[in-house]
Structure 1
Amino acid sequence: MFARIYKPSKTAMQSGKAKTDRWLLEFEAETARRVDPLMGWTSVDETASGQVRLTFDTREEAVSYAERHGLPFRLDPEHEPKAQPKAYSDNFSFRRRKPWTH
């Protein structure tokens, strides 16, 4: 089984950054997902690829776990979003691109 180690990005549904401070180790599926002919549900034959998700406090802990158990892994780099400085007074600036509307 091939493992992927990454730090999740924040969800698009909320503005908070909950659950983005830990590193995850997930297993990638070796076989393709298939559709059950009776119910139409998507399923996979192996449990580890879709249901096993290990969390670690640091990247080094996740890498050492994978090496200790002999798991081949891919380490995705950590992505830090760029801070966009904003000021409330920019809403009323004369250089505003769009007109102010309510």
Structure 2
Amino acid sequence: MAARIFQRSKNAMQSGKARADEWVLQFESHRPHLPDPLTGWSGGADTQAQVTIRFDTLQAAQAYAAREGIAYHLVPASTPKLKIQSYADNFR
């Protein structure tokens, strides 16, 4: 049973940063996703891949994985790239 630990990104649809600082432990699927012949949607029978656990800190997520014997890999948080421009740049 493998998992990945990552930091949730900011919601792209809103300017707020709610829940952007929490860390998430998400289990990886062991079976491939197969398309449903009737609807065409992809899915699988692996219910463990649907489990998502949220933590306040990275250390809490790592401690939980170590305590439960879960192999994990850490996905580093990406740094936002800011494009600094002024209002006058729209008219150049």
TM-score w.r.t. structure 2 length?
Answer: 0.83
RMSD: 2.0
Unpaired segments of 5 or more residues in structure 2? none
The one-letter code of the counterpart of 2:79 is E
Alignment: residue pair count = 92
Once the 2 structures are TM-superposed, how far is the Cα of residue 79 of structure 1 from its aligned partner?
Answer: 2.7
Q: Rg: which structure is higher?
A: 1
Cross-structure match for 1:20: 20
SS at match of 2:24: strand
Cross-structure match for 2:58: 59
C-alpha separation in 1, matches of 2:40 and 2:79: 39
CA offsets, 1:8-66, max 9 Å, x none? 111222222122111000011111101121333321111011x2100001100100111
Decide whether aligned partners of structure 1 residues 40 and 91 sit closer, same or farther in structure 2, where only a CA change above 3 A counts. Answer: closer
The one-letter code of the counterpart of 2:91 is P
Structure 1 window deviating more from structure 2 (75-84 vs 65-74): it is: 75-84
Cross-structure match for 1:36: 36
The one-letter code of the counterpart of 2:74 is L
C-alpha separation in 1, matches of 2:65 and 2:71: 7
1:1-102 alignment, distance < 5 Å: 1-49=1-49, 51-82=50-81, 90-92=86-88, 96=89, 98-99=90-91
C-alpha separation in 1, matches of 2:9 and 2:19: 9
TM-score w.r.t. structure 1 length?
Answer: 0.76
